[in-house]
Each structure stands twice: as structure tokens, then as C-alpha cells.
Amino acid sequence: MAFAIDHPLEALERALGAERRALLEHDVDALLASTADKLAALRRAEAAGPDPAAAERLSALRELNQANGVLLARRRREVGWALRRIGRVESTGVYDSNGQSGARPQARCLGVG
């Protein structure tokens, strides 16, 4: 049985929804899968070219992506806070011009021996 390939914006909307669920459920595997799906849908949409009739839908998808970005930033802050509380090293998130992590590890001692 052959399945019709959906429109790139439908695939993008589905991936953004899956990304949001993964963030809310703290599901790392689902987050990685939805991110891969989102990037694939974006590549398909870019290859398809501009569609003036889809401007409103693109705006809604942009807002959904931004909302997911806010949620992702919140999760990252929560993880960073937890790492600092247990004295673990946290990277600064700085990258050099080659895309390599230029992070300087930081650790905090929580007790005196």
C-alpha cells in the first residue's frame, strides 16, 4: 500500500508538536527524533520554495517554534541549576569559530571536608 507524502508544512507542524510533547514529558529520545524530523521538514520546505498562500500558516509555525525554544531554554536552565546544586561541571555553551565547544568547565564545592 502506497502512502501519499504529506506537505512539508504538515510534516513541520507534526514535528513541532512532537518536539513540544517531548519537552513537556522530559523525553530525550523523543526530543532528538522530533528535532531530526523538524530539520528534515524544514529542508523539504526550503526545497519546495516560497508559497505566498502559506504566509499565515508559516507565521503560526514560527510562533510554535519560538514557544518550543522558550520551553527548551527553561529545561536547560533547570538542568544547569540541578548540575550546580550537585557540584557537577556545567559547560558555558560557548563555541569557537570551528563549531567546537570552547566551554570552560565550572565546578562548585558544596561542602567543606
Q: Is residue 38 part of a domain?
A: yes
Output the CA angle 76-59-68, nearest 5 degrees: 15
- 12-54 pLDDT tens trace: 999 999 999 999 999 999 999 999 999 999 999 999 888 888 8
pLDDT at 95: 58
- Which residues touch 81 (CB under 8 Å, ≥6 apart)? none
Q: Is residue 13 part of a domain?
A: yes
Q: 56: part of which helix (H) or strand (E)?
A: helix 55-85
Q: Is residue 19 part of a domain?
A: yes
CA distances from 62 to 12, 55, 107 (A): 10, 10, 37
- The total domain count for the chain is 1
Domain that holds residue 17: 9-49+61-85
Lowest mean pLDDT among 20-29, 35-44, 71-80, 102-111: 102-111
